[in-house]
């Protein structure tokens, strides 16, 4: 049973009478009357972050992951709450100081405010973050239209290379190491776009589990499918270098998750708006494919229009 | 370092610019502009609930504990989010079914709605619950006035006896066992009072850590102290029986926490209102002492006006 089945089988029923829950099938909770948008996520050592050797960076990573859920919906995060479980080794005075300093920096960067939470003694380290914003409307999942362009912001895959470096599974020079680890811990979430997205986006999600896994989630209730051009999927020059140097396959690096870029669809007549916005704000926004009728199967194709599949589609939260 | 010191030393500073956080020194977050009230709490096996043999009851206990934070502030809870960490043993299909059924019952009882959350694989079981309500105003901590009466709703101590039974530390007959275990898992939170509290309460808190620990927290920023009459502290007839039978001391059973009753202060001129409200709604509301100038030390006194102290003041969340 994975996370989706678990929610569907046991909890969707009891949230039915509550339209704000969006059937537990979106990134956020949205209560239109009170204009309230909420995201709740838990982060566990070894799953959502590799280890706690750099508490200053871990706290940034998970906080960005949390507010990314709101940002991809076109909602500015405003308040956040942290519930932290750990023991005195994790929460030493030095570590607390580092986390506090990092949170302060993130607050200034994203204009958000620590608003509460609690600390619990446990030998297993974990954090739950609740992020809250206010908005008259949000961008929903499952609102793609046929023939929509599919876009992704920024680059994909860098964060995964960072993780491989932390796991000692890939060897690179010091400057590349630094670059990718930085991308792993401090993903460049697209805060600048938050107020503009609603002007052109039909549906959206942030890429946390992997491009393909999140494409599937974005349109999981619709009779639609996608066609993605592998060559168009944006990767950094540094990742390009490594792929060439080590003779790797791009397909195996673009759906590993932890990117926290925005995946969205937009009508073709929005192309000019999107292009200008990207130029003006110096943000990479790439058209990677299109939405099609579900009679055609979802696919990623190479330059010869041949279907290719990655080794796996991304991170699925399996229970058993 | 305990929880208060941790918050004070490392996190109060970064929440300063955010008045809604109430300096992280209250039960809830309150944003007046958006009328939003939020409580975030984490519950860990072995700390906040004894074990997970009864998932149907554990989930009720922790959900009531969460919404109790809002209710004691005079705010009706409306939405809740659960972030659950555990493994497939904890989250077996049977356990999920039991929890789902219990949540459904609680939703009907308290008019609240499951609104989101997530599930995380971990061998350590824990839950984070975020509860949300909407209100123009709340009852704050640290607003007691000198000579205020101090009140507590319901009875104290039953939950602690329930825990002792679960731990096999006390032996009682089957019917008493059932009564106390029930009180441990399903504390009778004072949902009926939620809309009335603001009419007479000056300051309030819910008793989760223990009467004395929570009295201290309720007025921790004020130059005030309290005087409590031990004889007036309300306990159930069943607890009275056990104390008599086993020749125990009442003082050691009334500040153990997990009661989820409301502790509040009110001016003397509200006595009649409170008495009538209690009668009308058949809710026990007991005057147990008064607020005084801090020149007099806080105390609990027996019938001869002699100061007495319990073995400990309640649950303090110690880290080191």
**DSSP assignment string, B66-118:** HHHHHHTTT--EEEEEEEEEE-TTTT-HHHHHHHHHHHHHHHHHHT-EEEEEE
Tell me the H-state helices in B143-248. Answer: 158-166, 174-185, 211-218, 237-245
Q: Which 38-77 residues of chain A touch chain B by CB within 8 A?
A: 38-42, 44, 47-48
pLDDT tens, A176-191?
A: 999 999 999 999 999 9
Residue A26: closest C-alpha in chain B? B116
pLDDT computed for residue B314 by the predictor: 67
Q: Which residues in chain A touch residue B123, judged by CB atoms under 8 angstroms apart?
A: 124
Mutation site for A-interface testing, chosen from B62, B128, B138 by largest number of A Cβ within 10 Å: B128
Residue A1 has pLDDT above 80, yes or no: no
Map out the domains of chain A with their CATH numbers. 16-134 (3.30.1330.10), 149-308 (3.90.650.10)
| Mean pLDDT confidence for A1-30 | 80
User: With an 8 Å Cβ cutoff, is A115 touching chain B?
Assistant: yes
pLDDT level of residue A317 (50, 70, 90 thresholds): low
Helix (H, G, I), strand (E, B) or coil at A189: coil
Helix (H) or strand (E) holding B230: none
In this structure, the dihedral spanned by the alpha carbons of residues B74, B79, B83 and B89, taken in order and rounded to 10 degrees, is 100
Q: Which residues in chain B touch residue A21, judged by CB atoms under 8 angstroms apart?
A: 113-116
Shortest Cα distance, chain B CAs vs residue A209, angstroms: 14
Q: Which residue matches tokens 């502030």?
A: B73
Q: Which DSSP state fits B291? A: E
Q: pTM for this structure?
A: 0.91
Of B42, B103, B134, the CB nearest to A85: B42
Residue B59, burial from CB neighbour count under 10 angstroms (0-12, 13-18, 19+): buried
Of A88, A97, A128, the CB nearest to B319: A88
ipTM for the predicted complex comes to 0.87
Of A21, A85, A320, the CB nearest to B113: A21
Q: Which residues in chain B touch residue A134, judged by CB atoms under 8 angstroms apart?
A: 34
Q: Which residues in chain A touch residue B109, judged by CB atoms under 8 angstroms apart?
A: none
Q: Which of the pair, A247 or A27, is modelled with greater confidence?
A: A247
- What radius of gyration, in Å, describes the C-alpha atoms of chain A? 19
pLDDT level of residue A25 (50, 70, 90 thresholds): confident
Structure tokens given for A239: 């990742």
Q: Which residues in chain B touch residue A19, judged by CB atoms under 8 angstroms apart?
A: none
Q: Which residues in chain A touch residue B39, judged by CB atoms under 8 angstroms apart?
A: 116
Structure tokens given for B245: 């039978």
pLDDT computed for residue B219 by the predictor: 96
pLDDT computed for residue B315 by the predictor: 61
pLDDT computed for residue B117 by the predictor: 85
CB contact under 8 A, B115 and A21: yes
Of the segments A1-5, A142-146, A306-310, B32-36, which one has the largest average pLDDT value?
Answer: A142-146
Mutation site for A-interface testing, chosen from B26, B118, B129, B317 by largest number of A Cβ within 10 Å: B118
CB contact under 8 A, A97 and B13: no
How does pLDDT run along chain B (320 residues), one tens digit per residue? 776 677 777 888 888 778 888 878 888 999 999 999 999 999 998 889 999 999 999 999 999 999 999 999 999 999 999 999 888 899 999 999 999 999 999 999 999 999 998 888 888 899 999 999 999 999 999 999 999 999 999 999 999 999 999 999 999 999 999 999 999 999 999 999 999 999 999 999 999 999 999 999 999 999 999 999 999 999 999 999 999 999 999 999 999 999 999 999 999 999 999 999 999 999 999 999 999 999 999 999 999 999 997 776 666 555 55
With contact defined as beta carbons under 8 Å apart, do B187 and B61 qualify? yes
Helix (H) or strand (E) holding A225: strand A224-229
What gap in Å lies between CA A234 and CA A158, rounded to an integer?
A: 11
User: With an 8 Å Cβ cutoff, is A108 touching chain B?
Assistant: no
pLDDT computed for residue A274 by the predictor: 98
With contact defined as beta carbons under 8 Å apart, do B226 and B263 qualify? no
CB contact under 8 A, A34 and B116: no
Q: Which residues in chain B touch residue A35, judged by CB atoms under 8 angstroms apart?
A: 34
User: With an 8 Å Cβ cutoff, is B12 touching chain A?
Assistant: no
Helix (H) or strand (E) holding A236: none
Shortest Cα distance, chain B CAs vs residue A285, angstroms: 30
Of B7, B116, B320, the CB nearest to A21: B116
User: With an 8 Å Cβ cutoff, is B25 touching chain A?
Assistant: no
CB contact under 8 A, A319 and B88: yes
Helix (H) or strand (E) holding B277: helix B271-281
**Residue B315, CA distances (Å) to A120, B46, B82 in order:** 13, 13, 24
pLDDT tens, A102-159?
A: 999 999 999 999 999 888 888 889 999 999 999 999 999 999 999 999 999 999 999 9
pLDDT tens, A45-83?
A: 888 999 999 999 999 999 999 999 999 999 999 999 999
Residue A38: closest C-alpha in chain B? B116
Of B1, B121, B128, the CB nearest to A83: B128
Q: Which residue matches tokens 């041949």?
A: A306
CB contact under 8 A, B130 and A40: yes
């Amino acid at each position: 049973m994975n996370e989706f089945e678990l929610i569907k089988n046991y909890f969707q029923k009891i949230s039915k009478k509550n339209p704000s829950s969006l059937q537990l099938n979106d990134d956020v909770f949205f209560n239109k009357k009170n204009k309230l948008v909420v995201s709740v996520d838990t982060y566990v050592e070894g799953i959502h972050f590799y280890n706690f050797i750099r508490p200053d960076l871990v706290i940034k990573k998970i906080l960005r992951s949390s507010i990314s859920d709101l940002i991809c919906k076109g909602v500015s995060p405003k308040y956040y709450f942290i519930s932290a479980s750990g023991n005195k080794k994790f929460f030493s005075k030095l570590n607390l100081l580092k986390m506090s300093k990092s949170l302060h920096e993130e607050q200034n960067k994203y204009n958000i405010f620590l608003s509460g939470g609690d600390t619990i003694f446990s030998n297993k380290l974990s954090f739950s973050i609740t992020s809250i914003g206010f908005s008259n409307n949000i961008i929903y999942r499952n609102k793609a239209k046929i023939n929509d362009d599919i876009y992704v912001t920024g680059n994909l895959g860098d964060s995964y290379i960072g993780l491989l470096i932390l796991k000692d599974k890939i060897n690179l020079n010091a400057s590349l190491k630094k670059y990718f680890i930085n991308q792993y811990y401090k993903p460049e979430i697209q805060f600048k776009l938050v107020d503009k997205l609603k002007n052109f986006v039909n549906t959206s999600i942030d890429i946390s589990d992997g491009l393909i896994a999140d494409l599937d989630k974005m349109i999981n209730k619709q009779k639609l499918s996608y066609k993605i051009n592998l060559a168009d999927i944006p990767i950094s020059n540094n990742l390009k270098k490594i792929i060439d140097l080590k003779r790797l396959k791009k397909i195996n690096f673009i759906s590993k998750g932890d990117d926290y870029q925005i995946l969205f669809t937009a009508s073709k007549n929005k192309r000019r708006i999107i292009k200008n916005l990207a130029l003006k704000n110096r943000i990479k926004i790439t058209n990677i494919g299109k939405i099609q009728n579900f009679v055609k199967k979802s696919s990623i194709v190479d330059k010869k229009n041949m279907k290719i599949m990655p080794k796996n589609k991304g991170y699925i939260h399996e229970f058993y």
